[in-house]
Amino acid sequence: MIKAASEKQAVAKPKRFDSPQQEVYLNLWRTYDRLRAFEDELFARHGLTAQQYNALRLLRAAHPRPVPTLAVATKLISRAPDITRLLDRLHDRGLVARERPPENRRTVMVAITEAGLTLLHELAEEVRACHDQQLGHLSSGDMRTLVDLLRKARDPHEPDGSAWA
């Protein structure tokens, strides 16, 4: 009799997910939300967003060469529908410089400034500590496995030539 009652309870329990794919996707989304909160708090203290920080990192990698605005947009970790506004805010703070080459006035080239490099240098230790707080509890093997699984999940959806493929 006890066994039958517990089986009924198990059957009566509502299903949390419609499919294994939905369970994985919602877990990814929840994980992103929980981990992003640490970065949001860190970057807010410095008047930045995670996307602005990412743009500065990309420009530092190209430094001292300027990069076309659209090239920055394609390399960002997440899509930025308004790359112009993102770069405007960095420009207004003196963290990036923009120029239009005389040979092609339709292109806007952007480069990180010394102030932008200084800010990234000042943030480096805090960012490392943030990442350690986010994922430091995982072993290096767990992290490698997670990276491999995330890449495998994303591969069919990456555009050709993506640095993330």
Per-residue pLDDT tens over the stretch 115-155:
999 999 999 999 999 999 999 999 999 999 999 999 999 99
**Average of per-residue pLDDT across 50-59:** 95
Sequence-distant (≥ 6) Cβ neighbours of residue 7 within 8 angstroms: none
Q: What is the CA radius of gyration of the chain?
A: 22
Q: Is the pLDDT of residue 162 over 90?
A: no
| pLDDT at residue 29, as a whole number | 94
Supply the pLDDT for residue 55.
Answer: 95
| Fold held by 22-133 | Arc Repressor Mutant, subunit A (1.10.10)
Dist CA 82 CA 6 (whole Å): 55
For the chain, the average pLDDT equals 90
Q: What is the DSSP letter of 15?
A: P
Domain ranges, ordered by start, for the chain: 22-133
